Structure 1
Amino acid sequence: MPTAQNQMRLASALLEAGNAAEAATLYAGALQGPFTCDPDLRFGAARAFTESHACAEALIHLEQLRARRPEYRPDAVSLLLARCYAGTSRLADARQEFEHAIARFGTFEAHAEYSIWAVQTGDAATAAHLQSEIDKITSRWNAMARKLNDPVIQRLQTALSSSLRVH
């Protein structure tokens, strides 16, 4: 049945399987009608649009989510906002949002995403500072923590190796 809940489950599975564009379409469809304010749907749509490089579309969902439900997953919303600002060439907003995420949440993911952005924009000083913080954080990890954070670690390593090839 094409209910909003079923569309959300299918969209989530598609997103996790790497099919972000199709997931974004399903999430957008599920947001029509009575579920337009559902924070899980709106966040899922934002993630899917971000991963499919439709950052302007993702920003609409993220800004509505932050305005209407500021308590909903504030760390994840902040990082997606920063990535979307970067994806729409709002670099000052991206930097501000990354710095906000680090100051407020201080997570590995916040440091790593900011570092990825800094590397991609050629800000070597910020990337180096962040790398020292990342090294401190990861030095205390066990195997499970490494496994849970592997997707972000892989993205960071890819950004760093791409940067080395350019220089």
Structure 2
Amino acid sequence: MPLLALLVIACQVTCGLHVVRSGQERYWLYLIIALPGLGCLIYFLGIMLPDMLGSRRGRHALNQLHDSIDPQRHLRALRDELDIRDTRETRLNLADELLRMGQPEEAATHYQMALRGIHIDAPDILLGLARARFALGDFAGCRDALERLIDKNPDFRSADGHLLYARALEGLGDDLKAEEEYQALNRYYAGPEASYRYALLLARLGRLREARELHEQIQTHARRAARHYRTLHKEWLDLSRQALRSLQAD
């Protein structure tokens, strides 16, 4: 048998033993068997090396690798935790992960169930519920959750929640009220998203000059800002630039 084949088999045996002894997920065994050389390399870099180093960077890389191979693993763990102890935190964590994974309907159910006892009007839960309702296209439900949040928690502040409220109003066709909220957001929102969405509303209402001026303000501020700002908000700055070009062409 060629030496290379023997080395590959030895690597497979070593990695397989590590999977079993360290209690790793069994899908690693399938990967190691199905892709003898590559599977062993991925397992070594993703599991064995970070385990040996024990570094924070290694653990982060491991989590990213796990997510790419098995994106449902966090959900399974959170569901298991909820089965063991049904608390505000476990249900909220599961709802947040479901929303992140694009499952807003189930997320909304868990947010709603978390609104109980002393947490019946908790602002973080209501904000999560509003996000889930918006993702479902239930703009009225989103608006109602946010209005309840503010009514019961008048000192709570969330720029993202405020932006969500403006978007929900726009989704409901209440353009006048939505514009009022966008104007308020435009004065304090940290990134360009709020201004970008306000400019889109203005363009949709036929107020093209105002929309163009707002996009120009976004781009001017970005040019004057630090590189970190442009990197952090690249998505919205690119969208604004494209919208500005379209308006200038009209």
Amino acid at match of 1:116: L
Identify which of 124, 131, 143 aligns with 1:47.
131
Identify which of 202, 206, 224 aligns with 1:140.
224
C-alpha distance 70-54 of structure 1, shift in aligned 2 (>3 A): same
C-alpha distance 152-9 of structure 1, shift in aligned 2 (>3 A): farther
Contact 2:123–2:149 (CA under 8 A) maintained in structure 1:
yes
Q: How far is 1:85 from its partner?
A: 0.7
Give the aligned partner of residue 90 of structure 2.
6
Counterpart CA distance in 2 for 1:3 and 1:121 is: 46
Q: How far is 1:99 from its partner?
A: 0.8
Counterpart CA distance in 1 for 2:196 and 2:93 is: 28
Give the aligned partner of residue 157 of structure 2.
73
Cα deviation 1:48-88 (Å, max 9, x = unaligned): 21222211001111112222323322422321111111111
* Residue 60 of structure 1 pairs with residue 151 of structure 2: no
Contact 2:159–2:189 (CA under 8 A) maintained in structure 1:
no
* Residue 124 of structure 1 pairs with residue 208 of structure 2: yes
C-alpha distance 150-61 of structure 1, shift in aligned 2 (>3 A): farther
The worse-fitting range, judged by mean Cα deviation, of 136-145 and 56-65 is 136-145
Contact 1:7–1:26 (CA under 8 A) maintained in structure 2:
yes
Amino acid at match of 2:110: L
* Residue 19 of structure 1 pairs with residue 100 of structure 2: no
Amino acid at match of 2:133: F
Amino acid at match of 1:132: E
Q: Matched residues, percent identical?
A: 28
C-alpha distance 48-157 of structure 1, shift in aligned 2 (>3 A): farther
Give the aligned partner of residue 60 of structure 2.
none
Q: Relative contact order (C-alpha < 8 Å, sep 6+): which is higher?
A: 1
Identify which of 20, 23, 38 aligns with 2:122.
38
| TM value normalised by structure 1 | 0.79
Q: How far is 1:132 from its partner?
A: 1.1
Counterpart CA distance in 1 for 2:132 and 2:159 is: 17
Amino acid at match of 2:155: E
Counterpart CA distance in 2 for 1:61 and 1:27 is: 11
Q: What is the aligned-residue RMSD (CA, Å)?
A: 2.7
Contact 1:79–1:113 (CA under 8 A) maintained in structure 2:
no
| TM value normalised by structure 2 | 0.55
C-alpha distance 89-106 of structure 1, shift in aligned 2 (>3 A): same
Cα deviation 1:14-50 (Å, max 9, x = unaligned): 2223333332222122224432111111111112212
C-alpha distance 144-77 of structure 1, shift in aligned 2 (>3 A): same
Structure 1: where are the runs of 5+ without partners? Answer: none
Q: Matched residue of 2:224: which SS?
A: coil
C-alpha distance 127-56 of structure 1, shift in aligned 2 (>3 A): same
Q: Which has the larger radius of gyration?
A: 2
Amino acid at match of 1:129: E
Counterpart CA distance in 2 for 1:41 and 1:113 is: 25
Contact 2:146–2:161 (CA under 8 A) maintained in structure 1:
yes
